[in-house]
Structure 1
Amino acid sequence: MKQSLQLKLGQSLTLTPQLQQAIKLLQLSTLDLQQAIEETLESNPLLEREEEAALEQAADDDGNAPGENAVDFSEPESNTAPDSSDDLPVDTRWEDLIPSSAPTSSGPSGDDYNFDDRDSNPDSLQTQLQWQLNLTRFSDTDHAIALALIDSVDSDGRLTQTPDEIRIALDDPDIELDEVVAVLHRLQHFEPTGVFAQDLRECLLIQLRQMPLDTPYRETAGALVSRYLDQLASGSDIRSLARRLRCDEDTVSGAVALIRSLDPTPGASLNSEDTEYIVPDVFVRKVNGHWRVELNPDIAPKLCINNQYTKLMEKGHSDGDRSFVKDNLQEARWFMKSLQSRNETLLKVGSKIVEHQRQFLEVGEEAMRPLVLSEIASQIGMHESTVSRATTRKYMHTPRGVFELKYFFSSHVANVGGGETSSTAIKALIRKLVQGEDQRKPLSDSKLCTLLEQQGVTVARRTVAKYREQLNIAPSNERKRLI
């Protein structure tokens, strides 16, 4: 083939830097957006907060004359400390006269003391166990065994290795299995009660043994856990368990209630992660009978252009200075315009969601309507991908709680009368039916299908099973309770 050069005209869609920046800001969450704004404020000198600009303007209007809040740097009348002990009062301390070089905000009374820094790193389960170990008298060998046992405890407080495996891991021929078991029994008295158990049965027995001897139904509960824990999990009848233990049904019922009050994962309470607070992007409230959608004004600071730098373009400075100011000015304007575009898109999407899901705000989850992204996109004149970015990791504060915008979009199921019901509404109906069922005879998936059909919702049994699993609801045979 012969190579040649040809000119060809055509049209293609390209993403300008401004459009790329707008898309990037739109898909950021609230925390990521605040971080991006801070980084832009640090890199672009022409961009500043409005409150900072107002303070600078007020300072310019007042001039350089010192006011009430101005600092006076003139020499004081007397700046000498007493150099004779005769001039000191009787109860005066040396620290009161000579300033200390130590920071003054080391205690709670300091202005810069941050309580979040003090509580930001909670102690883990291993830290708590090692602290209790340091308060317990052990020999050097037993202390090494105890450290190995603590290292083998998982986040729930359960042992991940057997005592024999721990003995082998210590690689000390002088340590015997009985010694490891003896140290283990002492560690099982540590807090929280129930740690260092090898399985659920031992965890429950440890908690029962450490209860006072006069605890009601303590002995019967220990017998149930030791012999019939599997039968308790499968939902055996109270009458059959009472017959096996040769006691009355009331005693067995009290023992079952005592077992349910125990903690199967005692270490989980100490391994809780830091609480992450959600900052809503949109507020929805009812005013005079109408639902109003508003943006959260605190998610992003109000920005403006620094006038002092823009004046440099008008003055006779070098070409490099004017070029620097011009580039940063254009970048600042693009950034502010992208933020404005993001806010407008969020407001449009949030308003349309409230318009479609007004019944959810009035009634609850059972009134949730089916909604897809393309339906909102066609109504606001945007692409479906734009709506997807605007609803990902964005939250709406409603009188019924804080929800992600994605929560209001769900698939639909056809009804008997030809209508449609959202999957969220069906899940709410299933949860309501399960909560009102007879615990002696839980509702099966087939029975749930029948009850939903009576309410006008036709779904298959496997669909009910899928929704039930998504709601973390156990099957009917596992939901049976001992009454």
Structure 2
Amino acid sequence: MPYLEQKLQPRLSQRLIITPQLQQAIRLLQLSKIELQEEIAQELVDNPALEDAVTHTEMTAAEAPAPTSEREVTAGDDSVRDNDDFDYDSFLRDLEDSYRPTQGMVEHRSADELPSFEQILSSAHQLSDHLQWQLEMSTLTEAERTIGEAIIGNLDERGYLEASIEEIAAMGPQPTPWTPEAVDRVRRFIQHFDPVGVASRDVSECLLVQLEVGGLGSSSAATAIRAHLDLLEQHRYEELRVALGIDGDELDEVLDIIRHLDPRPGEKYQQSATSYITPDVFVIKDGDSYRIVLNEDGLPRLRVSPAYRRMIDRAAQTAVSDASAKDFAREKVRAAVRLIRSLEERQRTIAKVANSIVKFQREFLDRGIEAIRPLVLRNVAEDIGMHEATVSRVVRQKYMHTPRGLFEMRFFFHSGLNSSDGGSVSSLTVKDKIKKLVGDESASKPLSDQAIAAALQREGLQIARRTVAKYREELHIPPSTQRKRSRNSRRA
């Protein structure tokens, strides 16, 4: 006779959660120094548990930490955990709650060491420029990059692909246009650029790519977007929970992950106003070597408010009726600690990338532009053990002041051309050679692209005429016929 039986069966599953800590760290990493200062200023206004330890006037001598006992809150510090089991009382008593510029990393610099006024003006990058740069730094073939340029040229302001795969394929050279398979392969490659999810065809695909890059391609959040997007859009969360076969806590995690995805990844690049910049990193010549100094001027030393330390202490000793006050204080303290840790991780990551760039481009720092090396994102990513997208976020709108001048960090990344000795020469070096050849050419017989290519080939560079034409156009140098016509008109 059949019968019903209740059993408890353990279920083992793996869940990778994009924590608020990670989400904030990724967002802060993309900010320029000025944007970061604005972000911190806003956090100081919004979070009463966060304060600037240097300027705050309520700290008494008894509360002030001894200089020898202070230490930074780092992302790898196991004593600081962003969950409900975290012992905030011990954390606050030990004063492991402040972010301050790294000691020994900020130095006084004379006026002639600082960038000029002209160097501190910068125009915001457009989405197409940012993607085109990453395309050039990629490992794609020349033919695939041409497909990539067509894809980037057909993105809307949100970052979505407006044209169909077939329409892009038809843009290829005739009579043998690109295949739809080749176009889609390049498109999927571009989707992993920064910002992640660009070149998607719809919001579902855009969000799924972001989950995939975050290691959540097989998660319940991905299933919710892939199979139950209508329930999400209509806020039918109970039906969604049943459809996913998860409990209420897991549903909260799924919704939190989805809320932090970006359905319009291209919109942040629509600003076009000119902004002021300050170096994020100083490269200092120290004898025969170079060292990195993070520019943390203007960044406050953050800490958790002593008043909130006392509030938590009092709440721990009072009746349950004050539980809401304690929960409020704990949440604000948790947010403050999260920001402190994210700032520390941001600075550490920038320092890693900067050190790697200096290692690869040491010859440029010593000798100048003719010695700059070909360098792609993958080189630095493998050197420091990070993802290429992370390196791309770091170098975006970050500036490095070197003995050679002030440069955006992505300046140091260039594709290369093969040379006859088996080596590789940076495209920037090749462009510099083209400028010199054109500058020294005869006014009556300017060099054609083929003649420039031949001259570079005699120097051992393997370069085609069409590549010379491409570099010449990027340098805003007109063709030889226009140069000759312009010089003749000036003489007339």
| TM-score category of the 2 structures, normalised to the smaller one | 0.5 to 0.7
1:15 to 15, 18, 30: 18
What's the CA shift for 1:274?
Answer: 8.3
Residue 385 of structure 1: aligned partner: 389
What's the CA shift for 1:425?
Answer: 1.2
Cα shift readout 1:31-59 (whole Å, capped 9, x = no counterpart): 22122111211111111112123x43368
Matched, 1:433 2:437: yes
Residue 295 of structure 1: aligned partner: 294
Matched, 1:32 2:27: no
Residue 348 of structure 2: aligned partner: 344
What is the CA–CA distance in structure 1 between the aligned matches of 2:61 and 2:273, rounded to whole Å?
42
Letter in 2 for 1:447: A
1:361 to 360, 365, 368: 365
Task: Give SS of 1:298's match.
Answer: coil
Task: Give SS of 2:55's match.
Answer: helix
Matched, 1:56 2:58: yes
Letter in 1 for 2:33: T
Identity of aligned residues (%): 46
What's the CA shift for 1:275?
Answer: 6.1
What is the CA–CA distance in structure 1 between the aligned matches of 2:445 and 2:274, rounded to whole Å?
39
Task: Give SS of 1:479's match.
Answer: helix
Residue 402 of structure 1: aligned partner: 406
1:455 to 441, 459, 471: 459
Cα shift readout 1:324-371 (whole Å, capped 9, x = no counterpart): 111111110111000000000000000100110111112222211111
What's the CA shift for 1:16?
Answer: 1.0
| Residues 281/14 of structure 1: CA separation in 2 closer, same or farther (3 Å cut) | same
What is the CA–CA distance in structure 1 between the aligned matches of 2:437 and 2:455, rounded to whole Å?
8
Runs of 4+ in 1 over 4 A off after TM superposition: 58-61
Q: Does the 8 Å contact 2:34/2:277 carry over to 1?
A: no
Task: Give SS of 1:304's match.
Answer: strand
| Residues 21/275 of structure 1: CA separation in 2 closer, same or farther (3 Å cut) | closer
What's the CA shift for 1:320?
Answer: 2.0
Matched, 1:305 2:323: no
Q: Larger C-alpha radius of gyration, 1 or 2?
A: 1
Residue 414 of structure 1: aligned partner: 418
Q: Does the 8 Å contact 1:279/1:299 carry over to 2?
A: no
Tell me which of the two structures has the higher relative contact order, counting C-alpha pairs closer than 8 angstroms and 6 or more residues apart: 2
Question: Where does 1:236-385 land on structure 2 (aligned, <5 Å)?
Answer: 276-298=275-297, 300-315=299-314, 316=317, 318-385=322-389
TM-score (norm 1): 0.52
| Residues 313/13 of structure 1: CA separation in 2 closer, same or farther (3 Å cut) | closer
What is the CA–CA distance in structure 2 between the aligned matches of 1:304 and 1:478, rounded to whole Å?
62
Cα shift readout 1:210-235 (whole Å, capped 9, x = no counterpart): xxxxxxxxxxxxxxxxxxxxxxxxxx
Gaps of 5+ in 1: 1-5, 62-272
Task: Give SS of 2:400's match.
Answer: strand
Q: Does the 8 Å contact 2:365/2:402 carry over to 1?
A: yes
What's the CA shift for 1:292?
Answer: 1.4
Question: Where does 1:140-155 land on structure 2 (aligned, <5 Å)?
Answer: none
| Residues 275/17 of structure 1: CA separation in 2 closer, same or farther (3 Å cut) | closer
Matched, 1:442 2:450: no
Letter in 2 for 1:57: M
| Residues 330/321 of structure 1: CA separation in 2 closer, same or farther (3 Å cut) | same
What is the CA–CA distance in structure 2 between the aligned matches of 1:274 and 1:8, rounded to whole Å?
54
Residue 45 of structure 2: aligned partner: 42
For the aligned residue pairs, the C-alpha RMSD in angstroms reads 2.3
Letter in 1 for 2:286: V
What's the CA shift for 1:420?
Answer: 0.7
TM-score (norm 2): 0.51
